[in-house]
Structures are given as C-alpha cells and as structure tokens.
Structure 1
C-alpha cells in the first residue's frame, strides 16, 4: 500500500500512536508529527504540547486536532491529552473538544447530556452517534428518548483518542449519525500508576485510581472511580457514582487484541428545568424545584473485545460487545397541567440487554497503476428490552401508561473504494445497506406488532490538493435515524385508547453535502473551513415522555464551520471555532418555518500552556447563541457565554496540584431553555412559558494527583 494513501490503516496509525503502550507520563507530554508517523504526501503537523494537568494523567502522546489525513474538512482526531487539558463540569463536556459541539444538562447529573451540533437540538443523542471502545452508547427505542446516550460512565483520564466525523459521509456510520459521530478509545496502559482526589464547591468529591502492569504476553489495566456531588440546588442532587474498568490487552490497535469489562452505577435527585414565572413570582428561587422527588438511578455493565491484524493481505479487525443496562427516571416537566390533584410526575423504566459485533477488512492494491484500497464490513446489533411509562406521585406508582417488551435487531453491510489518482486527486466511493426488524409486545394489544424496514445510503468523497499547503474536500452522503419502534407499531394513544395515532416511519432518511478546505501554510497553524447542507425527510419522533408519536416536518440546514488550531510554541497553543447555521422547515406552514431549539451560532476559544514539570493551565470560552423556541420565532432563548479556567503546578516527583474555576464570571445564564405549557400550582392558570435550567454559579475544584 502506498504510504501516501489516505487509508484506514493510516487513520488507525494515528490512533495507534495515541493508544500506544506504554504512554508518556503526564509530566512529559511530547508531540508527534506526521513525519514521525512516516506518513508521506501530507504536510507535517505543528507540535501540540499539552500541560501536565491533574486530569491528563493518562499521559498519551499529544496529537493535533486533525492529525490523520481526514476525508472531510470537518473530521479529525483529538488526543486524550487535549481532552484532559480542559476544565469541565461533567464527564460528557470533554466532547466539546469536537469543534461546534455543545454538551449541556437540563436535569440531575446522572441523566444523559443534551447535545447540540450543526443546527440540531440532538436531545440526548438522536442524530449524533457516540461510541466508547467500539460499543454504541445510543439506546434505540429508549424509555426516555430515541438515541438516548448516557456518557456519565466515561472516565476522561482513560481516554486515549477521540475520532469525530460530521455529516452522513462515512460508511462505518449508520443509525443516529446524520449530524455526526464520535468514537472514543480508551488507553491500554499508563506509564505510571495514578491516584488522584478532588474536592470542590457544592459537595463535589471524587477519587480515581488507574494502574497497569505486564501480565503474560500483554498488559492488565484496572481503574476505579467514586464521586459524590450535590450541586447548588435547593434540593441537593446527592449524586453517588461508582465506576470501574478492567482491561487485558496485547499488541497495538493495528495488530493486537483486548478484552474489557466495565461497570457503572449511579443514583441522584434532579432539579429539572423550571418556568420563568415561578421564579419571577417568588414561588421558587433560581435553583429551586417544583417537584423535589424527581431523580433517577442507572446501571451499565459491559463486556467487550477487539481484535486486529495487519499483513500483506491488508488490515482485518473485529469487535464484539454485550451490555446489561437499566435505568429509572422520575420527571415532572408540566407540574399540575394534566392532573391538578396528583401532579404530572411519571416514571420511565428501561431494562435491556444488547449485544452486537462489527468485522471489516481493508484490501490494498492498485487500479491502472494507481494506489487503491477497498474496505468491506458488516455490523449487527440486537436489543432485548422492557420499556415502560408509569404515572407516579413522589416516585410511588399510581397507574400504567404503557409497558412493552421489545426485541429489535439490525444488520448492515458497507463497502468503500478509495483511489489516489494523482498527487493532487483522491476519491472515495461507497455505500451501506441497513436492515431493521422489531417485535413489540405491548400491554395494550392494539399497539403490539412487528415492523421491518431497510435503507441503502451512498457515500462519495473527493479530495483535491495539496496546493500551497491547502486541500479542498467535497463530500456527499445519505444517512438516517431510526425511530422508536413503539411509534411504528402503535395504532392508539395509550393514555386514551379511543383515539387513533399516526404511525411513525421506522427509518427516516437524510442527505448531506459539504465543501471545505484545510490549510497549513503558516507554520504551527491549521485552519479548516466547511460549508454544509443537511436535509431530513421528516423528523417524526416517538415521545417517550408521553408514550406517543409526535409528527414533525421535513427540514433543511445550511451552515458554515471555521476551525483553527495554532501551536505558537511547544508549550503554548491557541484554538478557536465558529459555527453558524440556518435551520428551517422545508415546507410551508402557518405555524412558521423555524426549527425550535436549533442553535444558530456556536463559538469557542481556548488557550493552553505548559510543557513538562512546572506551571500549566488553560482558559476556555464557550458561546451558545440564542435559539428560536417556537416555529414563528416570536419566543427565543437567551445566549449563554461561559468561561472556565485551570491553573496548576507539576512537581518533578510526579505529584501535581491543580485548581479548576468553573463559570469564572459567575454568569447567570441558562444551560438550556424550552417553551411549553405548564401549570405551576394545582388551582393555577395553565400557561405557556419559557422553562430553563440555570448554569451553576462559580465553583472551584482542587485536584491532587500522584503518579508512582
């Protein structure tokens, strides 16, 4: 295979560099360039030095934001060192290292995050596909929301590399990946064992230990985490979390194997979004709640394995996983709107076992003397679950809305051909075919049934250049998301069986287009610009909070992304990102043309300094622009601008001390805002209102870490 070819092997070489065992200690991060990876035909990357932060204990080799020869202007790889150099409030926020991605929360800390990307309110994961160590995080036909992706089991210090794509242009990406996909890989080993403890504002306490050692022909890694947190809320979150990882590995990501077990458990109270009028009228304070019994608990246990082998015949890889998952959520978003006597609290139960596998092979060769490779792969997944919705009062059962047993399975085949025609022209042509089948056994027979659907999506890519250290990218692709299968088989409203409901389509197609460029003509600076469009045929979704399908309309999104990474010196790095999106319904309707909660402007900027022992730190700014809350744009959210900082010192003996300050300016902003009808008190007036979840006030967290 030509080393200049932008291949899967080359991409995995970059990942292997990040995941190589043993990694560098966190007090001596070093940069890797494309030249050091022996990658021909690409401009060398600028050095990317990262601080010896208390979080960056994994100590992986630093990799620039897009080290590998990406197939689009908006994709890339972020190293674990970059991830851990960021001061964050919650684990999922580390994914804001993906340019243009907002990760926030509207409930208790044990609930899945809310995601925003490319003009999408992705809810808890509907159109962004998330993977950890080859396992899907998104849950289909979930009790709370389609694609629900709970990342609270993530241990940031174990992250070796994060690979991200945006748009439906990549053959490996299927369900939930229309806006983008993020694949997180854990380390196989640490250079030194790690123990850290953190304490902070609002009852924050965390302890973590990571250790690895040779075992036979491979390496055994063990990690354990415990955390508690109350938050600033009038009713404390009382989050309790336990997390553990055990991994045995041999070889590398290109030629080796690993078996991993993970266990995660959490329980919490939840202060959900609250109506503005309740605060204005003095009924509750800004950090108050109208139902103090909201909250939840969850558990996730998994066993997974990966295998890869590189030879003259190409690259073969396979992975498989088995996950046991359970969740209970108690929420009350409308208070006394539907039931002025008992209130509107409900419990959502999700209890499932899911398993799946992926296998692929890359064949190298030539076409008319030109370097070529072909990749083929198969994916499969099966979920066996019980999903239920029940009316409750103070978490006590009152009545059942629906209680379903569901078996849902899917299989996919994908293939792609990649050719370097000249030194300045590369192409990729591929497709994937997905098939779905499901069986629903509902407590209401009229909503039982079977469903099946299939979709074939093309993927095309063209790369021109480099000319003057600049490459031009053209991408086209089809994508889709699956809908909750209960909405596909349902015929009657579970809360009012006399009323029929419209069925949802099983698979909803999307089509994406992108043109972009990447420039490295200024030493140390990499800048990328992308213009994109994404069309959805329909955004019909099953609403888990109501147990019914809520039809939507076709949509179209246009946008621009501008991403910059600048390594001024080996110890100082700057970055800045801007995304502007126009999101509209593609049809005409008197209600209006705006897509509710679709972000128009997202921006971020950061500075990080430090190189080995001594002082280190970072400063991060994130801007989440105002959004329309209803179709006619007459009600909008406010913008949110947050500034987080970190300062610390790493001693020569492996001990480091760091201080994180979150929300440095004490901004009284909102994490998220919705607009809907609610009734605040039993005999009160039902009114539509903004409902918001406030940003936490200024908080400090002190971390002491040791490496031995």
Structure 2
C-alpha cells in the first residue's frame, strides 16, 4: 500500500494551465445534456469525454479544431478559436452508421464495448438482468422462479451468481460478498430497464479501477441522468403476465435547458403467473427518484434513492427420471413450496468537480439495506426421507462505501499521457445469515448455520497512460487491496476473524495501425474474495483467490460496412476454497486454467439494417488432476449469439436474435452431459412522436430446452436408493408480450 501511494504521488505531475473554454453539449431533439461524447484533436488524439452535464473543455492553444463523436448523434467539428466560452452546442440525433466508425484507442471507447439505450430498446428484455445477455459471450440462466439472481456463464466460467463478474449501477456495487446463497451474488432486479442509459463492459482483470470479482469481466450500468420525454408504458402477455412502467420529469424542460438540473421519478410493477404447472405468482415493485445537475460552474451533483421488493414461488430443479417416468410434466415440480422474497433499498450520491487546470475529481458515497429469504430443495428426500430436504437461506445486510478518484491529462517528459488514481472503501454487515432445514416454508427442522458477518475492504489504485507515438499507447497501473473479515457464529457462540491483502499489477498496450486496424495486448492480475466463513476457517490464508490473465487481439474495419473484433485469451486461477451456501460446508477446488478465443462481427447490410454475430470458444480445465477428471462442471465451451436489427428513429424497428450454447460436461470426468440449446427471440415496434407499440416474443419456435442443468444426487419420495443424474429448470416456451407506450 505504501508503494502504491508513493507511485501515485510520483506520477501526479501538475497539469498545464491554459486558456481553456468550456462548452456544453445538448441533444437537438430532447434538449437534454449529452454525456459520454468524445473529443478528438486535430492531430487525431482523443482528449476527454463529456461529463454528466454534457460539459467539455477545449484549448485553442493545443488544437484549433476539435471533432465531437458519440453514438446516436452526428459528428461535429468545433472551431476552438471562434466559439465562445460557455456556449451550448446542439447535436443532431441519428442512427449510427458503420461507414462513420473509425477505430480509435483505447478500444473501450469504441462501439463494441458499450450497450446503448437503442440496443436495450430493440431486444425482448423483461428485466435488467436480461441486459447482460447483450455482452458478447455472456449467458444467464434462471432456476428459482424469476426472483432470484440469474446464474452467469462467461469465458469458460460457471460464475454461479457473480463470483467472477463484477457489476455496478452508477458506481454502486451490485455483487454481495459472503451472501447467504453464494459468494458474489449479483441481483440486478432493482434496476428498471427503461431507465438504463448505457452499459460499459469489458472482459478480463486488466483495469486498475476494478477490484473484487472482476476476473472474467465486468459490466457498469449507467442510469439516465435526464429523461428526454415523460412516458407511461403498459405490457401484457401470455401466462397472465402484466407490467406497468412510468417515469416523469419533476422539473420542466426550460429549467433543464437553463440550468442543466434534472429531477425525475420512475416506478415499475411486474406480475406473472408463469409457465410452470405450479403458479409462480411472481410480483415485483421498483421505484427510483434521481436528481442530477450543476451546483457551480465547475461541479455537478448526482443523487438517487431507489428500492425494490419482490416475492415468488418456484418449481425448482426437476430430475430427468421424474419426467421420463411421467411422474411430472416438463414444467412440473417435485417440491412446489420453493420460492422466496427479497428487497433492496439504495442511496447513492456522487460529486464531480472539474478544476481550471483540467483535473477532474469524482467522489461517491452509497448505502444499501438488503433482505433475502429463499426456500430451495435440491435433493428432495435424500437426507431426510420423512420430511424432505428443503432449506432456508436468509440474511439482512447493511452495505456502505465511498469512492474518490482523480484524472487528468499530463506530460511525462516529452510524452503526452493521462493519469488517474483512486481510493475505494466498502463495508458489509449482515445479521442472522442463516441456513436451516425447513418443511413447507413454515416448519423449522434444524439450524445448520447462523451468524453475523462483518467484512471491510479498502483499495487504492493508480494508472498512467503514455502516448508513446501517434499510433502507440501504453497504460501501466496497479491496485492494492486489504480485507478484514469477522464471523460471529451464534450456534457455538464463537467469533473468528481474518485479514489479508493483495497487490495487482495491470498493463495494456494499444497499437493503432490506421483508422481501420488496431491491435492490443492486455496483461493483468485480478482476484475474487472467498466467503468470510471460508476465510476464518482457514485462518485467513484463503481470503483471496488471485487470477492472472492476458488478452491479445484486434479491431478491424473492413471496407465501409464491416467491423470485426478478435481476441485470444488466457486466465489462470489459484487454489479456491468455496463456501457452499446450500450445504453450509467448505469445498476445496484446485488451480484452474481457461483459454480460448472471441470473435465479434458487425455488418451494415443496408441503411437501418444491421447484422451481428459473436462466437466464443473456451477450454476450461482443472490443473494438477488426472486428465480424465480435469473437466470443470457446467463451464461453457462453445457459445454464440447474433441476429438482425432494423434501427430507425421513427416508424418501424425490429430485431430477430439467436443464442446458442453447446453441450458441456456436467461433472469432472464428462460422464454426464449438460445438453446445449439454440433459441430465437424477436421484437417488432412502431414509433411515432407521442406513442409507440411493440410485440416481443421469446423462443419463437417454441423449443423445449433446459435453461439450467446440474448433476445432482437425489432421492424421490419412497425411492429405495438415491440417483445421480441431470436435474434441470425448463427454459421459457413461446412467450409473446404486447406493449404500448405514451410519451408526453
């Protein structure tokens, strides 16, 4: 930690002061600020990104002109010498054409690493968790009635519910450490999909500002700061499915234009009986109140409070033999008393300040109160033939944290560059983290684990970007993290603690051959923490699981209409000790390695008509075990997604999408196979200025498929011996929904 702090102060050269001008970018149609726009100097080097109130700083002494680029708007050239300070510039909305896309460093700025509002709008998306499917190579699976966080698969990982994929919303972490159901549990259902502005994502442990859980990758959700229009939306579909969403500006448009201040409220209600034989009776309520605006000429404040609550019933995972023998149907249940309830309430405040020398300083504080209550039965009557094996997992949690970071352009000798550094602190306190045996949700049979968890983590990071030439950039960074864990076991009245630390170096190299070809090499160390109950049992030696990774790839523009991104990657993880929340035990697993390749393809067929496809191949294996037993259960090996999108601002819009997951091993020796699937979804909408109607269909060919699968040993009622085989949750059948939205 001392080394990293010294590293930060050594690199913090004073930014050069100049007679810079500030300009504000607004959308021409919606008359709201445009954040995230990139400015490119005359020498074609990127300068900065417009902040949350659409502000950009330009320096006539550095470049006489600046070109502004952003997805969904016309590019615009600004004369830095002629334009007045504090000017408002309006950008015209338009459909992005691949003809206009120029490959630029770094690739994370590019269109392939951002999910836009347009992408979300065209897909058959029911919850914000579905948005994750747009990340190339990422698959999700639901196996507990729709209210539980989905299972995640990416780059040869069965990530469970988030162990190796970090997720944030407006900078606030979603992943839960030492969760009652599983480490890294990431439940995004508190986000209203229509209020997502964009999602920035990437893969691998290569980014200094990303800490815990970011080994396979990350996704940063950005909520809208401004509503272009108020709206009310109603949806109805099969299986007695209903949904209503509304969002309204609480300040008038004139106030937004004059001051850049915005205040809006949003709400969502969702209900479905579900397609299972036993009704899900799923209900969810969401609400948000968000403010964003200027508090001075150099500072902006963003704050929101949000909350959600949901309850549901579930049919759980059913055994193959029960379906084959006709004991239950494809959508049946062995124990239909599974299900649960959960809620999360958040407060998030961030302050962004830009100083006259160009330095930007961001500060954020957040707090969440969380409740979780889940009933499951994975083994039926294996352990308790008389009353069954149903379990209850529950917790109450307080989560709080703060983040502070700085960034600015600087010079290191004759080299131009950019520097950023930050501090992140987080604390999680749970009350009555519980695992118990129950019957029919009401009768308590036995308490297996019960205790309070307190986990504190603190990290500091720094990264320096060097522009070695007009075509070559090098980013060198590192982060250091410390962890303090304690567990108060209420069953045996014992309190245990542990502590650990981790230093993670990062390196990224980008070579831009021309406007059509860019090559990159990324190298880095990342980690995910283990459950506190594991850490204290292992005397603190296994708090952190390190990961080492590398990506080698390129972005290629072929002609005017084709864009390709390729990557060859490798990821190695050290020995893990996993707390199995369903059983309350610690399971060791050895070292693992994963390597593979990603290919992303984008093609503009005609004006407004786009094709895309992503192919992901991985080879996940355990290290140091016999070759016949080195498979990683349920880890995907071949996946692909793609489809056609017709994108027009007004009038008809539509998409048809596919997703394919190949078969994969369900156990270590591949004697049991988890079957693959190929599913197609489609959406069609018609838009006018004041209204929009849409039809969205999941699984348009009504394919019978298994969304999640597990090789589990179970015993059915009165069955003499247990059986180990595939247990599955059936995927969504043909599911059509109609929607109608009014804008005002």
State TM-score, norm by structure 1. Answer: 0.89
Corresponding residue to 1:667 among 691, 698, 703 = 703
Do the aligned residues in 1 keep the contact of 2:485 with 2:536 (CA within 8 Å)?
no
Matched residue, 1:12: none
Deviations, residues 473-514 of structure 1 (Å, cap 9, x unaligned):
0110001111111122238xxxxxxxxxx9871101000011
Matched residue, 1:390: 436
Matched residue, 1:196: 233
1:589 positional shift = 3.2
Do the aligned residues in 2 keep the contact of 1:22 with 1:189 (CA within 8 Å)?
no
Deviations, residues 500-538 of structure 1 (Å, cap 9, x unaligned):
xx9871101000011010012422332100000000012
Corresponding residue to 1:347 among 392, 408, 411 = 392
> Following the alignment from structure 1 to structure 2, what is the Cα–Cα distance between the partners of residues 242 and 60?
33
1:684 positional shift = 3.5
Higher RCO structure (Cα 8 Å, ≥6 apart): 1
- Aligned to 1:344, what secondary structure does the other structure show? coil
- Aligned to 2:594, what secondary structure does the other structure show? strand
Matched residue, 1:476: 523
1:226-625 counterparts in 2 under 5 A? 226-251=269-294, 256-311=300-355, 312-386=357-431, 387-396=433-442, 397-445=444-492, 448-467=495-514, 469-490=516-537, 505-589=542-626, 592-625=629-662
Q: Aligned pair in 2 of structure 1 residues 46, 129: CA closer, same or farther (>3 Å)?
A: closer
Which of 441-450 and 556-565 deviates more?
441-450
1:60 positional shift = 9.1
Corresponding residue to 2:44 among 35, 40, 43 = 40
Q: Aligned pair in 2 of structure 1 residues 613, 37: CA closer, same or farther (>3 Å)?
A: farther
Deviations, residues 653-699 of structure 1 (Å, cap 9, x unaligned):
x1111111110011111101111201122444201010111112101
Does residue 205 in structure 1 map to residue 242 in structure 2?
yes
Do the aligned residues in 1 keep the contact of 2:534 with 2:577 (CA within 8 Å)?
no
1:113-262 counterparts in 2 under 5 A? 113-214=150-251, 217=259, 218-251=261-294, 256-262=300-306
Matched residue, 1:629: 666
- Aligned to 2:733, what secondary structure does the other structure show? coil
1:2-21 counterparts in 2 under 5 A? none
Matched residue, 1:498: none
1:590 positional shift = 7.0
Q: Aligned pair in 2 of structure 1 residues 379, 40: CA closer, same or farther (>3 Å)?
A: same
Deviations, residues 55-107 of structure 1 (Å, cap 9, x unaligned):
xxxx9987799997435699722212212211134431111111111122111
Q: Aligned pair in 2 of structure 1 residues 503, 459: CA closer, same or farther (>3 Å)?
A: closer
> Following the alignment from structure 1 to structure 2, what is the Cα–Cα distance between the partners of residues 568 and 201?
34
> Following the alignment from structure 1 to structure 2, what is the Cα–Cα distance between the partners of residues 553 and 528?
33
- Aligned to 2:118, what secondary structure does the other structure show? helix
- Aligned to 1:173, what secondary structure does the other structure show? coil
Bigger radius of gyration:
2
> Following the alignment from structure 1 to structure 2, what is the Cα–Cα distance between the partners of residues 37 and 180?
31
1:429 positional shift = 0.5
Does residue 650 in structure 1 map to residue 695 in structure 2?
no
1:331 positional shift = 0.3
- Aligned to 2:664, what secondary structure does the other structure show? coil
Matched residue, 1:56: none
> Following the alignment from structure 2 to structure 1, what is the Cα–Cα distance between the partners of residues 705 and 223?
34
1:648 positional shift = 2.0
> Following the alignment from structure 2 to structure 1, what is the Cα–Cα distance between the partners of residues 390 and 104?
49
> Following the alignment from structure 1 to structure 2, what is the Cα–Cα distance between the partners of residues 617 and 244?
29
Do the aligned residues in 1 keep the contact of 2:352 with 2:361 (CA within 8 Å)?
yes
Query: How well do the aligned residues superpose, as a CA RMSD in angstroms?
Result: 3.0
Deviations, residues 158-185 of structure 1 (Å, cap 9, x unaligned):
0111100110000011111100010000
Do the aligned residues in 2 keep the contact of 1:47 with 1:570 (CA within 8 Å)?
no
Deviations, residues 21-47 of structure 1 (Å, cap 9, x unaligned):
769569x9x999967999934799897
Matched residue, 1:53: none
Do the aligned residues in 1 keep the contact of 2:462 with 2:477 (CA within 8 Å)?
yes
> Following the alignment from structure 1 to structure 2, what is the Cα–Cα distance between the partners of residues 261 and 63?
33
Deviations, residues 113-157 of structure 1 (Å, cap 9, x unaligned):
111000000000010001111111100000000000011112111
Q: Aligned pair in 2 of structure 1 residues 376, 33: CA closer, same or farther (>3 Å)?
A: closer
> Following the alignment from structure 1 to structure 2, what is the Cα–Cα distance between the partners of residues 156 and 244?
12
Matched residue, 2:726: 690
> Following the alignment from structure 1 to structure 2, what is the Cα–Cα distance between the partners of residues 149 and 245?
19
> Following the alignment from structure 1 to structure 2, what is the Cα–Cα distance between the partners of residues 547 and 601?
32
1:625 positional shift = 1.4
Q: Aligned pair in 2 of structure 1 residues 526, 31: CA closer, same or farther (>3 Å)?
A: farther
1:299 positional shift = 0.7
> Following the alignment from structure 1 to structure 2, what is the Cα–Cα distance between the partners of residues 254 and 533?
43
Matched residue, 2:137: 100
> Following the alignment from structure 2 to structure 1, what is the Cα–Cα distance between the partners of residues 456 and 352?
25
> Following the alignment from structure 2 to structure 1, what is the Cα–Cα distance between the partners of residues 298 and 116?
17
Q: Aligned pair in 2 of structure 1 residues 592, 459: CA closer, same or farther (>3 Å)?
A: same
Deviations, residues 3-37 of structure 1 (Å, cap 9, x unaligned):
xxxxxx9xxxxxxx9x98769569x9x99996799
Q: Aligned pair in 2 of structure 1 residues 579, 400: CA closer, same or farther (>3 Å)?
A: same
Deviations, residues 224-251 of structure 1 (Å, cap 9, x unaligned):
0001012111111101110001001104
Do the aligned residues in 2 keep the contact of 1:438 with 1:452 (CA within 8 Å)?
yes
> Following the alignment from structure 1 to structure 2, what is the Cα–Cα distance between the partners of residues 457 and 97?
29
Q: Aligned pair in 2 of structure 1 residues 706, 383: CA closer, same or farther (>3 Å)?
A: same
> Following the alignment from structure 1 to structure 2, what is the Cα–Cα distance between the partners of residues 34 and 566?
23
Q: Aligned pair in 2 of structure 1 residues 609, 622: CA closer, same or farther (>3 Å)?
A: same
> Following the alignment from structure 2 to structure 1, what is the Cα–Cα distance between the partners of residues 354 and 71?
28
Matched residue, 2:10: none
Matched residue, 2:54: none
Do the aligned residues in 2 keep the contact of 1:74 with 1:165 (CA within 8 Å)?
no
> Following the alignment from structure 2 to structure 1, what is the Cα–Cα distance between the partners of residues 278 and 504?
48
In the alignment, structure 1 segments of 5+ residues that lack a partner are 1-8, 10-16, 51-58, 492-501
> Following the alignment from structure 1 to structure 2, what is the Cα–Cα distance between the partners of residues 535 and 62?
41
Q: Aligned pair in 2 of structure 1 residues 61, 110: CA closer, same or farther (>3 Å)?
A: farther
